[in-house]
Structure 1
Amino acid sequence: MAGNQYDFADKHAVVTGGASGIGLAIAHLLSAGGAVVSLWDHNAEVLKKAQAGFAGREVHGVTVDVSDEASVAAAVAQSETHGGTVQILVNSAGITGPNKTVCDYSVEDWDKVMAVNLRGTFLCCRALAPGMTTSGYGRIINIASIAGKEGNPNASAYSASKAAVIGLTKSLGKELAKTGVTVNCVTPAAVHTAIFDQMTQQHIDYMLSKIPMGRFGQTEEVAALVGWLASPDCSFTTGGTFDISGGRATY
């Protein structure tokens, strides 16, 4: 789908979970605008395949576990060696966890979801925000979820982690408000990507039933919103939560 074109020339962008789904669509939009893009992903094979799809544009791939502090630090060093200071960070890495009730949810599965979705977002923000503040410019966009606002049944860890990402976004946005660095998040309703493979069909059907437009979102639609949030035009908006939910959001 065609969309607005933004000028990201001379910008270095890191996209976590960038080898597939929403992250990959965002990476393509940033790259098309002239950004040097660093794709961070835990799956080296999928990462290599994703890099091959950028038609000669400058894209750097880093295999990283965003939930591990040392791994994130190493990824920062690799990316900065390749592209210099990072001005744009998109935290898109995430997992759903199993579709179970709270009473049936294992502590191990809970901790795993929190580690990737919340701890990972925190670690990446903490690692890259200082360089942005030093340079006086930056854009951080966290991919949350409508589940973080409404709380999907049988997805307690995912819902709680995304609610926490919204809170982290608001807090960090206020902390950096006078630095030239904006921090915002988007809250998509369900977007049909490979993450559906982690869900039951019953849960997928439930999510679709909650969307008034009667369809799932497209990765390019989320990327279009993130494009503005990552652009210089987003200069007086920080700590914001932006719905892209096909009419599902009620506040």
Structure 2
Amino acid sequence: MRTSRANILGSCMKNENKMNYDFSNRIVLVTGGTGALGRAVTSAFIESNATVISSYVVDKEIESLKKDSKPMLQLVKADVSKEDEVEKLVSDILVKYGRIHIVVNVVGGYLGGKSVWELDEKIWDKMMTINLKTAFLVSKHVVPQMISSKDGKIVHISSKTALKSSGYDSAYAASKSGLIRLVESLSEETKESNINVNCIMPNAIDTEANRTAMPTADFTKWVKPEDLANVILFLCSVEAKVITGAAIPTYGIG
């Protein structure tokens, strides 16, 4: 059967902004699902027929998700910087669903603007906690059941800054760089168990909070949360089965 060039081009044009995935019967844990990127990732998985458990910390942040809530979305309050809460979160999911197939760890944050000699130890500790410790704890408690099942996908969120700091962001840059090393180590430790572990490295993400913080920036060069969600879904799909231990640049083309 011959397919015309016009038909091929037409098909590509219809799907140029979004790939269609089917994550039916897949249990997905999204940590930090109430932020701009977390909401985009959660919505993308739900649209792709996954069952999503989205963790949050601040009650008021879940209102927007509740409005669009669907039967395949479960919201769970959990501070994933605390090991006992991570352990309970994972245990409860396993009791209810039996498996966690996919984890997208979106929890993170940025504090900068200080030189190393001006930086308060509390800021250093906070960056290490929310950007690196959370990834470690979530991975630690999710991976064993993935190893038992010989299947799993894990995606963390690093940053372009992990590769090259512009200064005045040492704690953030160090935490995101450490996250890449965590991904590399974990991918080596789990590759015989058919588990893919990767991270993406965005630059500035086009969110309301970032626009408020940087009102004079050129927003057209920023990457939208929905575009990052598309990359994450690809990394969690069977099409990306050969990718593991990777730090994927997602800077945009502006």
* Same fold, TM-score > 0.5, yes or no: yes
Which structure 1 residue ranges, 5 or more long, are not aligned?
Answer: none
CA displacement at 1:75 relative to structure 2: 1.3
CA distance in 2, matches of 1:83, 1:65: 21
Identify the range of structure 1 (146-155 vs 235-244) with the bigger mean alpha-carbon deviation: 146-155
Relative distance call for 1:14 and 1:152 in structure 2 (3 A) is: farther
- Aligned-pair CA distance for 1:48: 4.2
Task: Please state if 1:88 is matched with 2:94.
Answer: no
Runs of 4+ in structure 1 deviating by more than 3 angstroms, as ranges, are 199-202
What is the aligned length?
239
Question: Shift in Å at residue 194 of structure 1?
Answer: 4.9
Query: Please, which of 4, 20, 40 is the counterpart of residue 55 of structure 2?
Result: 40
The aligned amino acid for 2:125 is D
Q: Which residue of 1 aligns with 2:78?
A: 64
- Specify the structure having the higher radius of gyration (Cα): 2
**Is 1:241 aligned with 2:247?**
yes
1-structure distance, mates of 2:196, 2:134: 19
- The answer to whether the Cα contact below 8 Å between 2:205 and 2:223 also exists between their aligned partners in 1 is yes
1:219-249, CA deviations, whole angstroms, 9 ceiling, x for partnerless residues?
011011101101122111110111110248x
Q: Take 2:187 and 2:209, find their aligned partners in 1: how far apart are those partners?
A: 28
The whole-number CA distance in structure 1 between the counterparts of 2:97 and 2:36 is: 23
Task: Identify the residue that residue 125 of structure 1 maps to in structure 2.
Answer: 139
CA root-mean-square deviation = 2.1
CA contact (8 A) 2:221 2:253 kept: no
Structure 2 counterpart of 1:27, which letter?
Answer: T
Question: What does the per-residue CA deviation read over 1:15-40, in whole Å, with 9 as the maximum and x for residues that have no partner?
Answer: 11111211211111111111110001
1:179 aligns with 2:185: no
Post-superposition offset of 1:82: 3.7
Runs of 5+ unmatched residues, structure 2: 1-15
Identity within the alignment, %: 27
Q: How does 1:140-155 map to 2 (within 5 A)?
A: 140-155=154-169
Q: Kindly state the Cα deviation for residue 215 of structure 1 after the two structures are TM-superposed.
A: 1.2
1:83 Cα deviation from its structure 2 partner: 3.0
Partners of 1:51 and 1:150 in 2: CA distance: 38
Shift of 1:114: 0.6
| 1:193 counterpart letter in structure 2 | T
Correspondence 1:76 to 2:82: no
Q: Which residue of 2 aligns with 1:168?
A: 182
**Residues of 2 paired with 1:16 and 1:95: CA distance?**
13
The whole-number CA distance in structure 2 between the counterparts of 1:45 and 1:214 is: 29
Structure 1's 136 and 63: CA in aligned 2 closer, same or farther, altered over 3 A?
A: same
